[in-house]
Amino acid sequence: MATVLLPLPEDIARGARLLRAAQRIVAFTGAGVSTESGIPDFRSPGGIWSRYRPVLYHEFLGDPEARRRYWRMQRELYPTLAGAQPNAAHRALAALWELGRLDCVITQNIDALHQRAGCPPDCVIELHGNGTRVGCLQCGRTWPRAEVQPRLEAGEDDLRCEACGGLLKPTTVAFGQPMPERELREAQRRAAGCDLMLVIGSTLVVYPAADIPVCALEAGARLIIVNLSATPLDDRADVVLRGHAGPTMEALLAAPAARLEDPPSA
């Protein structure tokens, strides 16, 4: 069994006190949350991009061979995405929502596991899109990704919309594709309105998403970072919890200092 890293108890207690005092928490989640559900990291050594060359958005649009390469990768990766289950970090954030402490989750992940754990879809802001749906780039119609997998398994490798003939693509943000402006603006607005930003499982090096916690800091929010490795914002954080996302979040919510069932402390 792999070793589980947990922060020191005194650091957990400091984070728990910040949770207790917060009235409007915004969570920002990255790949370190998804990997604990068995979804491979894209960027780390040994991750997906070390095994597949990324297909740039303009290549996807203009090069049939690039699209075939892209869909071959998707055919292989989708069963892992479909079989993943929410972990303790997802469940902890859903519990914060149920307690009325969580304003929203802003996520870099594309797996929809926050929603499956119990966070309402309208409280999850997906900065990099959603890999569980496929959309037509021409007419805008969308389908569950599961409905497309049989076509890939049957040998199709340049998928087209059956209604209009347009290109199909998962509703994720590809390299070179613009970030969704509405989601980015909403994430910035919600970050600027929180009193505690809770970063979980992100190295905070992928921009412009990594600027979101900075929006919170500049508006006066406190900052907790839960991550296995250092981030560029560690020196600006109130508490840095160096540990695995799920076990650390479980310990944080269970700490006596949190008392999340009570009203926020002054």
The tokens describing 164, both together, are 């209009």
The tokens describing 86, both together, are 């929410």
- What residues are paired with 196 via a beta bridge? 25, 222
Cis omega before residue 208 (within 30°)?
A: yes
d(CA 109, CA 27): 13
Catalytic option among 90, 114, 128, 244: 128
The tokens describing 30, both together, are 């990255």
The tokens describing 14, both together, are 């400091």
The tokens describing 128, both together, are 């990099």
Kindly report the length of the chain: 266
Residue 90 bears catalytic tag: no
Q: Provide the Cα torsion 177, 181, 182, 185; round to 10°.
A: 140
Active site residues: 128
